[in-house]
Amino acid sequence: MDRMKWAGRTGAATAVLLGVLLSGIGAASTLDSASPIELVRAAVANEVAAANDDSIKHMFRSRKQTPQGSQTRLYVETRSAMAGMTIAYNDQPLTPEQVQGEENHLAGLASDPEQLSRKHSQEQQTAERTLRIVKALPDAFLYDYDGEERGAADLGKEGNLLVRLKFRPNPAYHPPSRVEEVLDGMQGFVLIDPAARRIARIDGTLFKEVGFGWGILGHLDKGGHFLVEQRDVGDGSWDTSRMSLTFTGKILFFKGISIKSEEVLSEFRRVPGDTTFAQGVEMLKAEEAKLAENHKPGAETTSPKSH
């Protein structure tokens, strides 16, 4: 699943917000011939194609930092749903009892087809909302050229030229549903790799309070910010490498929203495209056991913190 894994990790507000094929043309010729909106449309078309390609799957690590502390998890993409296991809190390995709890939870999912189906359905719904946001990018904003920079090991494809485009709301755009409403108050910039036709970074800030659900469901405060970065993970596919979210607001007029998190994703490894959920669970358990062995006294240690 070569896609942006932005969605479904920080609750309803994030699901509303975060949503963010061509080949054979070099960066220089692309810059000479393509306008900013043409670059955006080509990159978005490629992101959508990648999101719909379910043949590429990875195992990877995530370290998420919030005001409450950090959580490090391992994930395996499977043909059924995402399998995930926590391996550290605040960079400290889990106790044996906590490890057993993680394994019991995964075993329960693997043995309950109905529960696994619900998990898959929720992931699909979140992915669809994300794609709606990505698909709206060419029409929702106006773009201006704002410079260039080079890709790095953790951003885009290392060494490739990245084109920076500033964006601001397009006054002619009318959100077709409440999912896209947040875009009306967003401005920022995107970095696009014109050779790979991929979005390396999207950085957006709310310059005004924005209601969603036509203001009935709630609002997000001015100053909210999100950043999503992608990179070539070394096998020709791209994946999310960093997500940063800071938002406040209200849902249904009285329930407060407060989201502040920084997540880094790393150590991507390809797994077979037909990996089952049960096989993914076994991969997670094997990796966790390897890490636990490394933390035994006298063993060469491997920190659970992502690099």
Predicted local confidence at residue 234, as pLDDT: 85
**What whole-number distance in Å separates Cα of residue 92 and Cα of residue 22?**
44
Where do the DSSP E strands lie in the chain?
57-66, 69-77, 82-89, 92-93, 141-150, 161-169, 186-193, 198-206, 210-212, 218-220, 225-232, 238-251, 255-271
**Residue whose pair of structure tokens reads 């994703």 in the numeric block:** 265
Q: Tell me, yes or no, whether 300 lies in a domain.
A: no
Predicted local confidence at residue 282, as pLDDT: 95
What is the distance in angstroms between the CA of the first residue and the CA of the last residue of the chain? 22
Highest mean pLDDT among 27-31, 45-49, 214-218: 45-49
Predicted local confidence at residue 304, as pLDDT: 53
Q: Tell me, yes or no, whether 307 lies in a domain.
A: no
Which residue range(s) make up the domain with 256? 12-294
**Average pLDDT of span 110-115:** 92
Q: Tell me, yes or no, whether 5 lies in a domain.
A: no
Instruction: Name the band, by pLDDT with cuts 50, 70 and 90, for residue 207.
Output: very high
Instruction: Name the band, by pLDDT with cuts 50, 70 and 90, for residue 213.
Output: low
Q: Tell me, yes or no, whether 262 lies in a domain.
A: yes
Q: Which of 2-11, 155-164, 227-236, 252-261 has the lowest mean pLDDT?
A: 2-11
Short-list 272, 134, 141, 266, CA closest to 198:
134
**What whole-number distance in Å separates Cα of residue 263 and Cα of residue 258?**
16
**What whole-number distance in Å separates Cα of residue 212 and Cα of residue 247?**
14
| Residue 3 scores a pLDDT above 60 | no
Q: Tell me, yes or no, whether 4 lies in a domain.
A: no
**What whole-number distance in Å separates Cα of residue 25 and Cα of residue 201?**
21
| Residue 293 scores a pLDDT above 80 | no
Which pair of tokens denotes residue 159? 């060494």
Helix intervals (H) in the chain: 12-17, 27-33, 36-51, 96-110, 113-140, 277-294
Q: Tell me, yes or no, whether 71 lies in a domain.
A: yes
Tens-digit pLDDT profile for residues 228-259:
999 999 878 999 999 999 998 887 666 788 88
Q: Tell me, yes or no, whether 155 lies in a domain.
A: yes
* Number of compact structural domains in the chain: 1
**Residue whose pair of structure tokens reads 């502390």 in the numeric block:** 69
Q: Tell me, yes or no, whether 304 lies in a domain.
A: no
Q: Which of 18-27, 111-120, 181-190, 288-297 has the lowest mean pLDDT?
A: 18-27
| Residue 47 scores a pLDDT above 60 | yes
Calculated CA dihedral for residues 207, 211, 214, 216, nearest 10 degrees: -170
Q: Kindly report the pTM of this predicted structure.
A: 0.82
Give residues with Cβ within 8 angstroms of 56, minimum separation 6.
1, 2, 235, 237, 270, 273
| Residue 110 scores a pLDDT above 60 | yes
Predicted local confidence at residue 297, as pLDDT: 59
